[in-house]
Structure 1
């Protein structure tokens, strides 16, 4: 099969976002190209939206987001190849401001910009890691399935095969600080190797052993500074990567060039590792674990109410790309307690949007909608809902609402049954994430997954079929999103 050529699409995207001179930087997540532009008003939204291969355009989180779908990595590579390495260097050094001057330097503007930068940083740090975390979670779930007593313990947890495969699955979580540090440094355009080494310090076996025992590092005034276990952690390393960027830049500005190659990484690793182990790591990890446990407790305690509300509204966050703020919280929950009740509810929302677009695909007699709908449904059932939402569901508002109805029902059932997830991957493909890896005989969460997913699928499909869609409906324009606060009106 010939490799698909994305050259023409890359040319169109670059032209319609205002050309290379309007681009400050570019990253991508699972389904979107995320541009930081000098002037978002210079981009041709309508031109991009009507381009084959582009699902939608969104102004959110201080980014100009071009929704591509599952082929986003290929399109990203083609765009970067067109722009060339010189573009990256120029955009690093370009200090020109975006065209937000009409609103003036208001406080709200600064808050919004700061929040957008934070979301962008989290996106850039997490999106390259999501794939391996999801794959690892599936493997661990399958191991739990194969070791279930109900199936005759097909694979013994003490066997060499089980332990070897478990090591393959666990490595992404165990060495997560290294992966996150590397990705965060690339996002910051700093030295990813230095950040990875600092992540390696947090995941070093001796440090991990001391952390599990809460060994005291030293004592000041009766206050004990203790080691903590940072495997499976995210937030301490994200801050460490940022500190390494600041310190590394300062050293490169103040050290003679002939000393930089050795002493910049030496000082950076020593100082940032020490700060992380002694100060920022314990504070952030304690806060993150507490927040993750609190959210888990609130979701479980609220039962059907929490499930109904989260299930009914979560996919609205996806519209604006704000769901990336939830991703690290879910990962932190799984790392802190081994489970996430929140992610179990989120999983049903993916199933619901997939079911809604599948109903459109099966009901329509228009070939283009059928093809798009089936592809989008498969993507949603594999955990990526953007192609379904932007390609079809939002363009027929009732279809999207039908999906929200189904996910509200699915979330309600998940809350009633107190379902949890023990892995990261959601939707139908993530069924193995509902097997408790620590207690393979407990199928409570798996039953919650089966019942809630079936309910979400049936409700979304039925409401879409009988109310949400018919072929007489005209496909609306791709939905315009609210502009980022502080952006000048056209």
Structure 2
């Protein structure tokens, strides 16, 4: 099959965001091109929204976001090609990222701007590693499945094959600080290699061993400063990357040019690693673990009520881009306790929106809507709901509400059965994440996944079919997000 050409779409997008001279930087997430523009008023929102291949246009977190869907990587590459080698060089050396990271939305008070920049930093740090984490979670779940006695224990947990494949899955989590640090440094315009080395300090085997045993570094006034285990951690490394950027920039100003190559990274690595190990790491890791454990406990204790509320409203967070604040918490829960009741509920919300758009695709006689609906349904069942939400569901408001009704029922069942997830990947493709690798014979969470997913599909599909959609309805305008998600 011939490879699809995205060059014309790329040219149109560049033209409608105000031309290449208006682009400070460009990154992408799972479904969106995230532009940092010099002047957003130069962008032609309506022209972009009505461009074939573009699902929606959103302004949030200081970014001009063009929602593409599953083809975002191909479109991103085409846009970078059209912007030329000089822009590509800026992306590689971090110059463009530095400009983007320092940009602030013009509107909103200081607190709102700070929240937007924080969301942007989390997005820039986590987006590049989400796919790897999701893939690793699927592998771990399949391994747990293959050790089930009910299936004849196809794999022995002590076998060479199991341990080798398990290493392939665990490496993404074990060395997560390195990957997050690299991504955060690129977003901030710092030195990705320096940040990766600092992440390597946090995951160094001896440090991990000492952290597991809470070995004391030193004591001051009867207070013990201890090593902690930072594998699987996220937040300490994001702050470390930010510190490395600030300290590295300071050394660029004060050190002679002939000392820069060696002594800038030397001092930066020593200072930031020490600060992270002694001060910021323990504080942030302790707070993050505490918040993650508290949310896990709250969701578990609230049972069906928590499932009903979270299931009914989580996808609303996606509309405003606020779900990016939840993603690191879920990762923190899985890294800390090995499970996430919150993610188990979230998984059903993806299935529900997919079932709602699937009903539209099957019921509609409009060929273009059918094509978009089927593609969006597949995407949602694979854990990415944005093509469904922005492409169809929100433009027929009842379809989106139908999905919320289905996800509320799904969450109710998950909460009632106290279902948990033991991996990161959700929706139907994440079925293997519901097998407990520590206790393979306990299938409670997997049964909760089966029942809640079935309920999500049936309820969302039927409500959409009989109430949410018919061909006489007129597709509404593409929905705008609020410019500052913190105001939502």
Shorter-chain TM-score: what band? Answer: over 0.9
Report the count of equivalent residues. Answer: 481
Task: Tell whether the 8 Å contact from 1:25 to 1:37 is kept in structure 2 after alignment.
Answer: yes
Normalising by structure 1, report the TM-score: 0.95
Aligned to 1:421: 421
In 2, Cα distance between equivalents of 1:95 and 1:303? 40
With over 3 angstroms needed to count, the CA separation of the structure-2 counterparts of 1:465 and 1:486, relative to structure 1, is closer
1:392 counterpart SS class: helix
CA contact (8 A) 1:38 1:98 kept: no
Q: Which residue of 2 aligns with 1:303?
A: 303
Report the secondary structure of 1:481's partner residue. Answer: coil
Tell me, yes or no, if the aligned pair for 1:28 and 1:73 is still in contact at 8 Å. yes
| Cα separation, 1, equivalents of 2:483 and 2:177 | 35
In the TM superposition, residue 23 of structure 1 has moved relative to its aligned partner by: 2.2
Aligned to 2:312: 312
- The answer on 1:391 being equivalent to 2:382 is no
Residues 62, 103 of structure 2: 8 Å contact kept? no
Confirm or deny: 8 A CA contact 1:38 1:99 kept in the other structure: no
CA–CA separation in structure 2 for the residues paired with 1:223 and 1:384: 47
Say what the alpha-carbon RMSD is for the aligned residues. Answer: 1.8
Q: Which residue of 2 aligns with 1:448?
A: 448
* Distance in structure 2 (CA, Å) of the matches to 1:257 and 1:72: 40
Q: Quote the Cα distance in structure 1 between the aligned partners of 2:322 and 2:485.
A: 15
1:36-435 alignment, distance < 5 Å? 36-84=36-84, 86-87=86-87, 88=90, 89=95, 92=98, 100=106, 108-435=108-435
Separation in structure 2 between the aligned mates of residue 98 and residue 312 of structure 1, nearest angstrom: 33
Paired residues of 1:55 and 1:390 also in contact (CA < 8 A): yes
SS in 2 for 1:52: coil
Provide closer, same or farther for how the CA distance between residues 374 and 302 of structure 1 changes in structure 2, counting only shifts above 3 A: same
1:99 Cα offset (Å): 8.0
The whole-number CA distance in structure 2 between the counterparts of 1:166 and 1:66 is 37
Whole-Å separation in 2 of the counterparts to 1:420 and 1:209: 28
| 1:109–1:485 CA contact under 8 A, matched in 2 | no
| In 2: Cα distance, 1:78 partner to 1:265 partner | 34
Q: Which residue of 2 aligns with 1:8?
A: 8
Cα distance change, pair 379–193 in 1 and its aligned pair in 2 (3 A): same
For residues 129 and 140 of structure 1, the distance between their equivalents in structure 2, rounded to whole angstroms, comes to 17
Q: What CA distance in whole angstroms lies between the structure 1 residues aligned with 2:441 and 2:282?
A: 35
TM-score (structure 2 length as normaliser) = 0.96
* CA-to-aligned-CA distance 1:165-192 (integer Å, 9 cap, x gap): 1001100000001111111111111111
**Structure 2, unaligned stretches of length 5 or more?**
none
Following superposition, the deviation at residue 91 of structure 1 comes to 7.5
Find out whether 1:20 has 2:20 as its counterpart: yes
Aligned equivalents of 1:353, 1:80: Cα separation in 2: 32
Q: Provide closer, same or farther for how the CA distance between residues 167 and 485 of structure 1 changes in structure 2, counting only shifts above 3 A.
A: closer
Query: Aligned partners of 1:207, 1:486: CA distance in 2, in Å?
Result: 38
